[in-house]
A and B are shown apart, each in its own frame.
Chain A
Amino acid sequence: MKRKRSTDIRRKFERRDRVARRIIALGGYGVIISIAAILFFLFYQSLPLSFGAKIKEWFSWTPGDRSDQILLVGVDQYQEVVYFLDQHGEVEFLRMKDRHILLRDSLPLEPGEKIFSADRGSLLRDVFAAGTDKGRILIGEIHLQPRFEGSVRRIVPSLSVEQTFQAETPGDSLPAHIEKVSFRRTEDGLELLAWVNHAGHLFLRIYDPEEETTYRYDLSEQLGNLPITTLTMNYSGETLIVASEQGDLFWFDLLDPEEVVLVDHWRASGVAITAVSYLLGNNAIVVGDAQGEVSEWFPTKNPLQKTKFTLIRRFKPHRNPVTLIAASPRNRNFLTVDSKGEAHLNYATTDATQLEFLPSDYPLQAVAFAPKSNGIVAADSRHRLGVFRLDNPHPETTLHTLFGKVWYEGYQKPAFVWQSTGGSDEFEPKLSLVPLIFGTFKGTLYAMFFSVPLAILAAIYVSQFAPQWMSRIVKPIVEILAAFPSVVIGFLAGLYFAPLFEKHLVQFLIFSVALPVVFLVGVVIWKQIPEETRTRFPRGVELGFVLLVVLAAFSVADLLAFPVRETFFAGDLKQWLYTHWGVVYDQRNSLVVGFALGFAVIPIIFTIAEDALSNVPKSLSSAALALGASRWQTVRRVVLPAAAGGIFAGVMLGFGRAIGETMIVLMATGNTPILDLSPFNGFRAMSACIAVEIPEAPVGGTLYRVLFLTALLLFLFTFIVNTLASLVGDKLRKKYARF
């Protein structure tokens, strides 16, 4: 009986032991899981950046057997209702989910009158102008108004015709065909119409609602009677671009409606230009020609300060002439379509052709992006409508835009730029990680320049030359310093040292020169002390000596500062730097960061290097000393080589800490993402950039993922550095374990 109870107890304990074992093992594996989870999560969040675009046709419709040309298509923002306008002026609204025609309406055309050309006047609204074969132009707007009744959403379509007028036909009494029309209505209500008639005349008509004035121009003569193929204006109504059959482009400036001028014309292609379109942002145009070439142009300043349209990049060419170009209302996406109906989805900033697809077996007559840029509507010559769902969450990033030079709109040449958010919806995100990586390494480098020599020298002194009592005090102090909150160091750097450096820049420069000089002089004086006296000095007296040296160097700097500044730098070093070297001095600059970051890193390097140095077996140094080597020789030839691995590990760990340090770089630099090695300006480091921008980044958006990618890079940098450090440390331990 008793026996049984004891086995029961035994069993209970064993069961507990097993449970404990499992829980404890879980704790152990938990560590691996944590780091793996972090790595995995960073990957998982940044990977979608490389997924590219997907397109799927999810709706198509053929309204019986009709073959009249479709001139305009569109869809509402929820992609519930599509509309199209055909050449007889019929507008039909179709609800897609039940293929029900919601509304049929038509433009007030005369019997037999046909629309030849139509153009959408805005990227955000469905205003349009249509030009007919009777020489009339009609302006109208299509509304797709969402109405909410409880939780049910209904799209209410309507068509309103606002204006019709007879186009001018100077010197020609017959009404002329309107071959091609371009129409814009800006947000301020400015209305611009440009059209070409069958005789090749180019007319422009600008209505200014503020002045209630209409300006009319006949621009034909300025074109030198070249046959016009197509024309476009930008959505802010500032420029008119006209393309010719010879491949010329004409650029008219419409900024002043009272004086429209031809700014420039140039040959953009060897063959006829068949399609031109402005992109979102109203700056860049996309040009497609008869050979299927697609290129992007925008104005840049040449060295003579003359603004000219410049060929920025070419996209993947079509095999047939380009017929249509549609720009996305949300980003720099645009769709080019050729005469065989093949479509390319391009993204302007990345010069990538994201998709090539065939929306229809027949040539397309009209295409348009959905208002949220998440769909495409296309109509072909057989009157078939196709609606495509476009899944393209991160068009802005490719490997090239993240790490290469990109020619952004408004820039004079390709550049590495980080500028993630801008003032308007038309902003072109610039997401090059290069300035951030550069900034991180710039700060780290300056910090290492400052901290490595100091930390290693101090470690050598404490471990080899200092008296016992001193190392007993110094080591805990430094250890505590390693735990010093970086936010305190950062705040001191930003609010105290940055202004101090700025004010006493000359003193600091002189001091950095004076210190070695005074030190050498001091050594010479030191040597004058008789040998016997010197050997009788207690250990640690060196610190007293260097105190004098530093004080002397300080006074020298202070004394010389004024005369040096007046004689060499014309009274103001900052001004002098700017006029002679073109260097701008920022208050929060790399020197300040180097100092502050170095201060944060010194304890790490010192602690590890000191450990490595004092762990060098005593037998080694004793042997060297016994063989007659001097103290320094022993250190230089025996101790340092033996501890080199440990010192290296310390430097690496310090490096790792400097790379990832956030608060100091955030507070002590101006956080401007520039590529400039000058010590007198700031930078933006990856860590600070994450800290500043992630709270504002929409979850799952491109910026959000790019910042995760930045974090992943940081993780990998430090991972490599730390692994390297621990490998070297292990090797070292093995090497000297035998002594």
Chain B
Amino acid sequence: MMRKFKDDPYILLTSLGLFISLAMVAFIVGLIMVRGLGFFWPRQVLLVELKDGTRYLGEVWETETVSEKQPDGTIKTDHKIQLKIGNRDLYGLDFTWVEEKDVVRREHPPAATVFERLEYGNFYGMMRSLQVGEQIYRDEVERHAREALKIAHRLEKKIEAKQKALNELTAPLNRLQRELSLLKISDEAGQPRVVQKIQRLEREEENLKRRIAEKYRRLNEQLLQLNQEKQKIFLQVQAASGETRTILLADVVRFYQPNRMSRWQKIQLYFSKLGEFLTAAPRESNTEGGVFPAIFGTVMMVLLMSIAVVPFGVLAAIYLNEYAKQGVVVRLIRLSVNNLAGVPSIVFGIFGLGFFIYVVGGSLDQLFFSDKLPEPTLGTGGILWASLTLALLTLPVVVVATEEGILAVPRANKEGALALGATRWQMIRQIVLPNAMPGILTGLILAISRGAGEVAPLMITGVVKLAPTLPIDGTFPFLHLDRKFMHLGFHIYDVGFQSPNVEAAKPMVYTTALLLILIVIFLNLLAIFIRNRLKKKYKASAF
């Protein structure tokens, strides 16, 4: 009995290890959850007035308590509030610290309005008047402004459509002009053949110009008119410091008055913001708006990666288990798989950069895109190369999971098939592959989750902070493997560490991080679920 008595401290110690590990996990996941999910919840807007008469209007972002020992031995405690005051065009900074002891008045004015703008971040202030066209509203500004906002957005859409039409109209001309200017500065500009070509192109240019002139003029006029209309819908908004600003409603994404919103309205707003986050493009150097291009890029990339890695990994796993004889080759393959799993991701990245991009891509450029050189087409980072790099990186995951699936196929089934006269390939196709499918699927899912979370190799093989175009669009050849793309993981790094206004960008980073880990956790849970089903299935059918 004495001995058992001595046991306890050690057992307690081991449990401490587990507890701290789990506590950290819980803390970190909880932190991301709270910060990530809380970002869209409209906060109360606070108006503070300081002793010196300064007034601030903004959201309470953080509070801090600092205790300090004074020279005379007394302890002084200060409370500070961090306010997000927005109005970057007025104050220059989004945030300010206010000392609690300086505050003489604090209230939540019901009319305080938050404007989310396309530029310069949020604006906090009180609406004074609204002008739509020639009409000026001074009463019930908010209600009218809501209507006006819709009108402004409709106008904006029209302008975009016209602009697009205009671009499409001039696109052939631009192409022609580009070709011409390239020819004129090329080395062979003096040769008669080229001179002829230039003259022909110049004639074509003239023709084209003439042909589109009328339409061009009309579109331009319409654009001008719409733009003028747009300029006439604006609000006069007064900031806390007293200045009045004119805010064009076309530049406003949305506005709301959190202090008089009901819970239900807040929930609506919350989901509308969440929807924007998931479906819209980023604004303001990625610190506002949505992450749709990043989600799209991530999905595209892991799809391409899967196309490359799954066949490769499955073949390797089948070879290992069904064909290869135990010996040097198998041991070499296993060693390779183990080491591929252990090689740092950045090494894959630098390999992808040096080999795929510069060697393979560079050579392909020489062969097929030599007319565009020295501007590289495939010889620069792009979604294809990034996917191939990640395919190499995730290969071991697929191999190991597939092997597990193959090993779970009962020997009796396989030998039965062979005994009935099936060739080995027939046996593999009819017996092994269908039964190993859950294993392959597990491998695929794990590879996708790894690929979605990986950043280091991507940032040197084709991920960019802001891709102007998606890798898929309506112009031929629809799928653009040479394009650079955005990625959720890189988005986190870029917005959190490279953006000029990190403090304002933080919520965005937390939300993106939450999205990313939700994706990864979901995929992993799915993999675990499938694997457990696999285990059960074969436990039941084992004989």
- Point out residues on A near B: beta carbons under 8 Å: 13-14, 16-17, 20-21, 23-32, 34-38, 41-42, 45, 150-151, 453-458, 460-462, 464-466, 474, 476-481, 483-492, 494-496, 519, 522-523, 526-527, 531, 534-535, 542-543, 545-547, 549-550, 562, 566, 571, 599, 602, 606, 630-633, 635-636, 653, 656-657, 659-663, 666-667, 687, 690-691, 694-695, 699, 707-708, 711, 714-715, 718-719, 721-723, 726
Instruction: Say yes or no: A491-B492 contact (C-beta < 8 A), given A38-B347, A661-B344.
Output: yes
Is residue B420 contacting chain A, with contact meaning CB distance below 8 A?
Answer: no
Stretch of B37-45, B140-148, B211-219, B348-356 with 4 or more beta carbons under 8 angstroms from chain A: B348-356
Residues of A within 8 Å of B19, CB to CB, are 543, 546-547, 550
Residues of B within 8 Å of A24, CB to CB, are 315, 318-319, 322-323
Residues of A within 8 Å of B12, CB to CB, are 519, 522-523, 526, 542, 545-546
Is residue B112 contacting chain A, with contact meaning CB distance below 8 A?
Answer: no
From the candidates A41, A485, A549, name the one contacting B351 in the complex (CB within 8 A): A41
Residues of A within 8 Å of B349, CB to CB, are 690-691
Instruction: Say yes or no: A28-B496 contact (C-beta < 8 A), given A488-B513, A606-B21.
Output: no
Residues of B within 8 Å of A481, CB to CB, are 25
- Contacts A17-B424, A523-B9 supplied; 9 other A-B pairs, CB < 8 Å: A17-B425, A30-B315, A32-B333, A42-B347, A457-B13, A457-B18, A477-B25, A487-B492, A496-B31
B18 and A458 contacting across the interface, CB-CB below 8 Å: yes
A27 and B392 contacting across the interface, CB-CB below 8 Å: no
The smallest beta-carbon distance between B458 and chain A, in angstroms, is 10
Is residue B135 contacting chain A, with contact meaning CB distance below 8 A?
Answer: no
The smallest beta-carbon distance between B158 and chain A, in angstroms, is 40
Which residues of chain B in 342-396 are interfacial with respect to chain A, using CB atoms and an 8 Å cutoff?
342-351, 353-355, 358, 392, 395
The smallest beta-carbon distance between A660 and chain B, in angstroms, is 2
CA distance A653 to B453 in the complex (A): 20
Instruction: Say yes or no: A667-B496 contact (C-beta < 8 A), given A28-B333, A543-B19.
Output: yes
Residues of A within 8 Å of B399, CB to CB, are 31
B318 and A31 contacting across the interface, CB-CB below 8 Å: no
Residues of B within 8 Å of A489, CB to CB, are 28
A484 and B346 contacting across the interface, CB-CB below 8 Å: no
A714 and B460 contacting across the interface, CB-CB below 8 Å: no
Instruction: Say yes or no: A695-B460 contact (C-beta < 8 A), given A454-B21, A476-B528, A479-B528.
Output: yes
The smallest beta-carbon distance between B438 and chain A, in angstroms, is 17
Stretch of B183-191, B199-207, B287-295, B475-483 with 4 or more beta carbons under 8 angstroms from chain A: B183-191
From the candidates A16, A30, A36, name the one contacting B316 in the complex (CB within 8 A): A30
B20 and A488 contacting across the interface, CB-CB below 8 Å: no
A490 and B493 contacting across the interface, CB-CB below 8 Å: yes
Is residue B4 contacting chain A, with contact meaning CB distance below 8 A?
Answer: yes
From the candidates A45, A490, A719, name the one contacting B339 in the complex (CB within 8 A): A719
The 8 closest A-B pairs by CB, nearest first: A660-B344, A27-B315, A457-B17, A485-B453, A28-B319, A151-B187, A662-B456, A461-B14
Instruction: Say yes or no: A722-B338 contact (C-beta < 8 A), given A483-B453, A485-B454.
Output: yes
CA distance A454 to B22 in the complex (A): 10
CA distance A32 to B339 in the complex (A): 10
CA distance A635 to B188 in the complex (A): 83
A487 and B493 contacting across the interface, CB-CB below 8 Å: yes
Can you spell out 5 A-B residue pairs with CB atoms less than 8 angstroms apart? Answer: A38-B351, A38-B392, A485-B517, A542-B15, A657-B342
The smallest beta-carbon distance between A488 and chain B, in angstroms, is 5
Instruction: Say yes or no: A457-B333 contact (C-beta < 8 A), given A487-B489, A566-B69, A707-B350.
Output: no
Residues of A within 8 Å of B340, CB to CB, are 31, 34-35
| B77: nearest chain-A partner, CB-CB | A562
CA distance A407 to B311 in the complex (A): 54
From the candidates A480, A492, A519, A723, name the one contacting B525 in the complex (CB within 8 A): A480
Is residue B1 contacting chain A, with contact meaning CB distance below 8 A?
Answer: yes
Stretch of B89-97, B98-106, B444-452 with 4 or more beta carbons under 8 angstroms from chain A: B444-452
CA distance A35 to B188 in the complex (A): 46
B3 and A633 contacting across the interface, CB-CB below 8 Å: yes
B69 and A571 contacting across the interface, CB-CB below 8 Å: yes
A660 and B347 contacting across the interface, CB-CB below 8 Å: yes
| B489: nearest chain-A partner, CB-CB | A487
Residues of A within 8 Å of B11, CB to CB, are 461, 465, 542, 631-632
Residues of A within 8 Å of B320, CB to CB, are 28
Residues of A within 8 Å of B502, CB to CB, are 495
- Point out residues on B near A: beta carbons under 8 Å: 1, 3-25, 28, 31-32, 67-69, 75, 187-190, 311-312, 314-316, 318-320, 322-324, 329, 332-333, 335-351, 353-355, 358, 392, 395, 399, 423-426, 428, 446, 449-450, 452-456, 459-460, 489-490, 492-493, 496-497, 502, 506, 509, 513, 516-517, 520-521, 524-525, 528
Residues of A within 8 Å of B348, CB to CB, are 38
| B189: nearest chain-A partner, CB-CB | A150
Residues of B within 8 Å of A633, CB to CB, are 3, 7
| B354: nearest chain-A partner, CB-CB | A45
CA distance A36 to B19 in the complex (A): 43
Residues of B within 8 Å of A543, CB to CB, are 15, 18-19
B315 and A460 contacting across the interface, CB-CB below 8 Å: no
Instruction: Say yes or no: A723-B339 contact (C-beta < 8 A), given A38-B348, A550-B20.
Output: yes
| A457: nearest chain-B partner, CB-CB | B17
A527 and B5 contacting across the interface, CB-CB below 8 Å: yes
From A487, A549, A562, name the one whose CB has the most chain B CB atoms within 10 angstroms.
A487
The smallest beta-carbon distance between B72 and chain A, in angstroms, is 13
A465 and B32 contacting across the interface, CB-CB below 8 Å: no
CA distance A636 to B11 in the complex (A): 11
B497 and A667 contacting across the interface, CB-CB below 8 Å: yes
Residues of A within 8 Å of B497, CB to CB, are 491, 494-495, 667
| A570: nearest chain-B partner, CB-CB | B69
Instruction: Say yes or no: A28-B316 contact (C-beta < 8 A), given A41-B354, A483-B446, A708-B354.
Output: yes
CA distance A369 to B508 in the complex (A): 55
A483 and B358 contacting across the interface, CB-CB below 8 Å: no
Instruction: Say yes or no: A602-B493 contact (C-beta < 8 A), given A41-B354, A483-B446, A687-B456.
Output: no
Instruction: Say yes or no: A550-B424 contact (C-beta < 8 A), given A27-B315, A496-B31, A632-B7.
Output: no
B14 and A457 contacting across the interface, CB-CB below 8 Å: yes
From A14, A25, A478, A661, name the one whose CB has the most chain B CB atoms within 10 angstroms.
A25
CA distance A719 to B425 in the complex (A): 35
The smallest beta-carbon distance between A732 and chain B, in angstroms, is 15
B489 and A485 contacting across the interface, CB-CB below 8 Å: yes
CA distance A456 to B459 in the complex (A): 34
A491 and B69 contacting across the interface, CB-CB below 8 Å: no
Residues of A within 8 Å of B20, CB to CB, are 454, 550
Residues of B within 8 Å of A37, CB to CB, are 355
Instruction: Say yes or no: A667-B424 contact (C-beta < 8 A), given A34-B392, A461-B17, A691-B349.
Output: no
From the candidates A35, A599, A691, name the one contacting B346 in the complex (CB within 8 A): A691
A31 and B333 contacting across the interface, CB-CB below 8 Å: yes
B344 and A718 contacting across the interface, CB-CB below 8 Å: yes
Residues of A within 8 Å of B336, CB to CB, are 31-32, 34-36
| A689: nearest chain-B partner, CB-CB | B346
CA distance A621 to B336 in the complex (A): 36
A465 and B15 contacting across the interface, CB-CB below 8 Å: yes
CA distance A484 to B523 in the complex (A): 11
The smallest beta-carbon distance between A631 and chain B, in angstroms, is 5
A562 and B67 contacting across the interface, CB-CB below 8 Å: yes
CA distance A484 to B32 in the complex (A): 13
B460 and A31 contacting across the interface, CB-CB below 8 Å: no
| A656: nearest chain-B partner, CB-CB | B342
B323 and A21 contacting across the interface, CB-CB below 8 Å: yes
Instruction: Say yes or no: A526-B8 contact (C-beta < 8 A), given A485-B453, A562-B67.
Output: yes
Residues of A within 8 Å of B28, CB to CB, are 489, 492, 599
B343 and A660 contacting across the interface, CB-CB below 8 Å: yes
Residues of B within 8 Å of A26, CB to CB, are 315
From A17, A461, A478, A550, name the one whose CB has the most chain B CB atoms within 10 angstroms.
A461
A711 and B15 contacting across the interface, CB-CB below 8 Å: no
Residues of A within 8 Å of B332, CB to CB, are 32
From B13, B349, B358, B517, name the one whose CB has the most chain A CB atoms within 10 angstroms.
B13
